[in-house]
Amino acid sequence: MEQLSATPYEERLTAPKTWWGISLLVGIGLALTLLPFGTLPLLGGLVGGTAVAAVAGSSYGSVRIRVVGGALVAGEAKIPVTALGEAHVLDREEAAAWRTHKADVRAFMLLRAYIPTAVRIEVTDPEDPTPYLYLSTRHPEELIEAVRGARAAVA
């Protein structure tokens, strides 16, 4: 059996740069709300509002997708690559369709609407009611190749 690579694939689904500007706007909005109370509350609102919005945006965008140790780890989910079937690259239009009207309520969906491409990987484990995984990714071909490589290494 081949030795598995430590991390053949890893991606962090970071929030877009525009969200940091929105964080600043939230801080400015809170500062303006606190303006009638004086300079110190205004500065506190600016700093505090910006910080809270930035932390919220950062935590939402901190999810990772990894293929490591014979498993696909997507956010909190971990599934062995041997339980995965056919994988499909989803372009912008197909990804939008699979997150809306084609979606199955039983599917595991790690989606970020600000990432236009995704993969759909079928789950072949008969014990698992999840029909497929929908994973937003900026590098769908690389993710699919990593899953295939890990499956071949485990087999």
Residue 58: predicted pLDDT? 87
Terminal Cα distance for the chain, rounded: 8
Domain contains 35: yes
Cα maximum dimension of the chain? 70
What's the pLDDT tens digit per position in 71-94?
Answer: 999 999 999 999 999 999 999 999
pLDDT band at residue 7 using 50, 70 and 90 as cut-offs: low
Which range marks the domain in which residue 23 is found? Answer: 10-60
CA distance 92 to 107: 19
Domain contains 5: no
Please check whether residue 65 is in contact with residue 10, taking contact to mean a CB–CB distance below 8 angstroms.
yes
CATH number at residue 83: 2.30.29
Same domain, 56 and 68: no
Mean pLDDT of 120-129: 94
Among 42, 60, 78, the domain boundary falls at 60
Percent of the chain with pLDDT over 90: 75
| 3-class SS string, 24-77 | HHHHHHHHHHHHHHCHHHHHHHHHHHHHHHHHHHHHHCCCEEEEECCEEEECCE
Same domain, 55 and 80: no
- pTM strictly above 0.85: no
CA distance 72 to 84: 9
Same domain, 97 and 147: yes
Among 23, 41, 60, the domain boundary falls at 60
| Domain count along the chain | 2
| Residue 1, pLDDT above cutoff 50 | no
Among 60, 85, 101, the domain boundary falls at 60
What's the pLDDT tens digit per position in 25-60?
Answer: 999 999 999 999 999 999 999 999 999 999 998 888
Residue 153: predicted pLDDT? 86
Decide: helix, strand or coil at residue 10: strand
CA distance 151 to 128: 18
Q: By C-alpha distance, which of 134, 144, 116, 146 is closest to 7? A: 146
Same domain, 140 and 81: yes
Same domain, 118 and 132: yes
